[in-house]
Amino acid sequence: MTTAENRVALVTGASRGIGARIATALAHRGWDLTLSARRPESLQDFAENLAEKTGRRVLAVPADMSDEDAVSELAGRHDESFDRLDALVLNAGMGAIGPFSDFPLRKLDKLFTVNVRSAYQLVQQLLPTLRETGTGSTTGARVIAMASMAGVSAEPLNSAYGATKAALISLCETLTVEEHAHGVSGVAVCPGYVATDMTASRDDVDADTMITADDVADQTVAVTQLSRTVVIPRLLLTRPGPNLWHA
Ligand SMILES: NC(=O)c1ccc[n+]([C@@H]2O[C@H](COP(=O)([O-])OP(=O)(O)OC[C@H]3O[C@@H](n4cnc5c(N)ncnc54)[C@H](OP(=O)(O)O)[C@@H]3O)[C@@H](O)[C@H]2O)c1
């Protein structure tokens, strides 16, 4: 029987924002963690603090999601350090807006590399561990991708970012269809605007009207408590009022 005390997650983009809140919530519930982000110092500080506060094992592995070797090293370090993976939280991501008419193709490539290719690579490399964990666990093993409402409903200027998030939603669904027999399933978390560094420069949306990173983290963690016989393919978290079906 799996208990929270021996469950393990890998969270990308974990040094701040939504990823940091998810990591914090999981550690306080007894999970051990592998955490990743690009900048080693802030990641290491965050991981050490969390380990000290919660008494959990927290491994920090810096990795840029645009670097295939670094992504591979991240998966390898996780497997060397832990013998299971109950939740793979694919949270690291970048945004970029611009009109469809002249959005630079090299920016499109970068967005797909960071937001989608790295996620695909991590799932592929960690699938044996996810399967082994999922097979022996009452809650299964979950791949949780931080998608966006922009992947569900079109937003002007978000053709590229929205397409990467729609791709993540599709990957999660295919994973569930292919891997359910091994107790592995996917969920795409699709929030509207969340008040983090990523949205701090937006002057067209009041930060007070945005979703909090804690709300996204709490709902994400709730998914990990479900039994393996249920899946939430898409978890939509949006704002009340006229933005109901928009970011
Ligand atoms: N904020 C929103 O409104 C919103 C809404 C819907 C979905 N999302 C999605 O939620 C996820 C987290 O967003 P957030 O708002 O929490 O962002 P954030 O506050 O800017 O945090 C981003 C995190 O990802 C890391 N990161 C950024 N680029 C990376 C890369 N190339 N490789 C590895 N790590 C990287 C950052 O650390 P380093 O800088 O040290 O790498 C940091 O830990 C993203 O996938 C985003 O698209 C955000």
Round to whole Å and give the CA distance between 113 and 140: 28
Where do the domains of the chain lie?
4-243
Which atom of ligand 1 is nearest to 115's Cα?
Answer: 45
Classify strands 8-12 and 87-90 as parallel, antiparallel or unpaired: parallel
Q: Give the tens place of pLDDT for each residue, 206-230.
A: 999 999 999 999 999 999 999 999 9
Catalytic pick from 84, 161, 172, 220?
161
What pLDDT is stored for residue 193 in this prediction? 97
For residue 196, how far is its CA from the centre of ligand 1 (angstroms)? 9
pLDDT of residue 17: 98
Which atom number of ligand 1 is nearest to the Cα of residue 18? 16
Q: How far apart are CA 49 and CA 56, in angstroms?
A: 10
> Which whole number is the average pLDDT over 121-144?
98
pLDDT reported for residue 243: 86
Average pLDDT, the chain: 96
Tell me what the mean pLDDT of segment 188-195 comes to.
Answer: 98
Q: Provide CATH code, domain 4-243.
A: 3.40.50.720
Helix locations, the chain, DSSP H: 17-28, 40-54, 68-81, 105-112, 118-135, 159-179, 213-223
